[in-house]
Amino acid sequence: MLTVLVGAASRHQAVRTSLPEAYRRHAGLSLPPRMGGVVIAERHASSGTEHARMLHKQDAGCEFFVSQVCYDLDHTRNMISDYTHGCRDQGLDPKPVVLTLAPCGSVKTLEFMTWLGIEVPRWLQAEITRGDPLAASYEQCLLNARALIAYCRRLGLPFGINVESLTNRKLEIDASIDLVREIRDLLG
């Protein structure tokens, strides 16, 4: 069994159990499930400290990480680079990072992604809002997958790829399934 502990959606949200308390409770279980944590490349882009949060979560027992949807390739590469090098600087083995991709098939989905805090580069937003949104985002997801697979392999970072559909629209679900097939081929 796998568990991913997630903190509050914002620092202003009232919570009953803090993330550090959840980690402590998990550690006290007699047979704890494997625990992972969420990582957000956009948070790293603004603060430069997501890798330190990852190291702290790893120290608290996280055995893997799952990213928010990755659209900005540079934000994602910066985060995983800083994490991997931070681990090595401390004599630690980096934990697997599962990188999430999701096709965007409409302006409404783009608005939802923005609400979630996913940063879609301006040029891609223009492609999505003024052209064929699914074709533009699908192509970018595939390019991101290729680049991230190559980069993780070069870093020696254990990784996986998670493909999601952010909506229940058949068009986006079908695109997600197609993306999985293409990424599976890339992974060999």
Q: What is the pTM of this model?
A: 0.88
Phi and psi torsions of 68, nearest 5°: -65, 165
Q: How far apart are the first and last CA of the chain?
A: 26
Residue 26: pLDDT above 80? no
User: Are 62 and 35 within 8 A, CB to CB?
Assistant: yes
Q: How many CB atoms lie within 10 A of CB 28?
A: 8
| CA 146 to the chain's CA centroid | 15
The single-letter DSSP state of residue 5 is E
How do residues 92-151 score in pLDDT, each as one tens digit? 999 999 999 999 999 999 999 999 989 999 999 999 999 898 999 999 999 999 999 999
Strands 97-101 and 64-69: parallel
Residue 8: pLDDT above 70? no
Tokens at residue 102, please?
Answer: 């999701």
Phi and psi torsions of 100, nearest 5°: -100, 135
Q: Of the ranges 14-23, 62-71, 73-82, 87-96, which one carries the lowest mean pLDDT score?
A: 14-23
Q: Which positions ≥6 away from 137 have C-beta within 8 Å?
A: 103, 104, 105, 124, 127, 128
Tokens at residue 30, please?
Answer: 């007699």
User: Are 73 and 103 within 8 A, CB to CB?
Assistant: no
